Amino acid sequence: MTEIEVYEKFIEWLKTAPSVFPDSEDMTELIKARYTPDDAALLTNIPFNGRTIKELVEIKGMPVEELKPRMDALAKKGVVWKIFTYGAYRYRLCDPFLVFYRSVYWGGGRNSEHYKMAPLLNKTFGPYFEQFAHSKTRGLRTLPIEATVEDTRTVLPFEDVLKVLDDQDYFCVGNCSCKAKHNLDPEHENCEHHPFEENCVHFGDFARYMVDNGHGRELTREECRDVLLQCAEAGLVHGVSNWAAPVDTI
């Protein structure tokens, strides 16, 4: 199979993900920047729901001693989800939204591929999010910070931002992928709203995955509170995914 065929087959598999990456003429370039040909070949047919390494051995027809270290390495790369649950580590292929819009800029350090992807991602995701511009139900909801803020917009908070921490048992902080994509793209102005990129806090299994694979830094509850307050003092507005499931990110 040629390299082009490997990527074409992988792209078709990614299109079966629960969260589908928007079609774009830049899709192939983005895929090549994020996945090597070996990555693409290995991850084709890896399920998007968690499977044990024994189950993946059956799917890929590879010995466990070869497959496991490769899957572990891809978890550290941020393209495979790995979490310990129900007595065993389970792996799943991360959907394109997580791979490109979030995990690519979580870790420290920058390489040529980061700079290459930033303009492509801004170009691709810009039109994608514009379709929600007039929706009354947004992807994020705003959280207050125990302070009076004059705002002409309608804000429908579901909980106080600091009270969210009361329900969490594990915390970490990671880089803001949105800020990184803007700062690395010469077509966009740098985001100057906060002096640091470590702006996003995460909880529970999401945070454990990030820390275990070098994508984030573990925090205590008090340290997490301090990060949120520092961001508020810098003028950032806290937002959380607008769904009923437990909060995993602010």
Domain edges within the chain:
3-102, 139-241
Question: What pLDDT is recorded for position 155?
Answer: 41
pLDDT at 59 over 70: yes
- Which pLDDT belongs to residue 194? 66
- Closest CA relative to residue 246, chosen from 162, 142, 168, 144: 168
Written as six digits, the tokens of 59 are: 């799917």
pLDDT of 156: 35
Mean pLDDT to the nearest integer, 119-145: 61
Tokens for 135, please give them. 């929706």
At 246, the amino acid letter reads: P
Q: pTM for the complete prediction?
A: 0.78
Residue 5 has pLDDT above 60, yes or no: yes
**Three-class SS state of 103:** helix
Helical residues (DSSP H) of the chain, grouped into ranges: 3-14, 27-34, 37-43, 53-60, 64-77, 96, 112-130, 161-164, 177-183, 204-212, 221-233
**What is the tens place of the pLDDT at every residue in 23-41?**
777 788 889 989 999 999 9
Best mean pLDDT range from 45-49, 83-87, 135-139: 45-49
Q: Which residue has the higher pLDDT, 188 or 85?
A: 85
What average pLDDT does this structure show over 88-102? Answer: 89
Using the predicted structure, report yes or no on whether residue 152 has a pLDDT greater than 50: no
Report, as an integer, the average pLDDT of 91-116.
85
Class of domain 3-102: mainly alpha
DSSP of 10-58, one letter per residue?
Answer: HHHHHTTSSSPPPP-TTHHHHHHHHS-HHHHHHHTT--SS-EEHHHHHH
Determine which of 95-99, 130-134, 192-196 has the lowest per-residue pLDDT on average.
130-134
Average pLDDT, the chain: 82
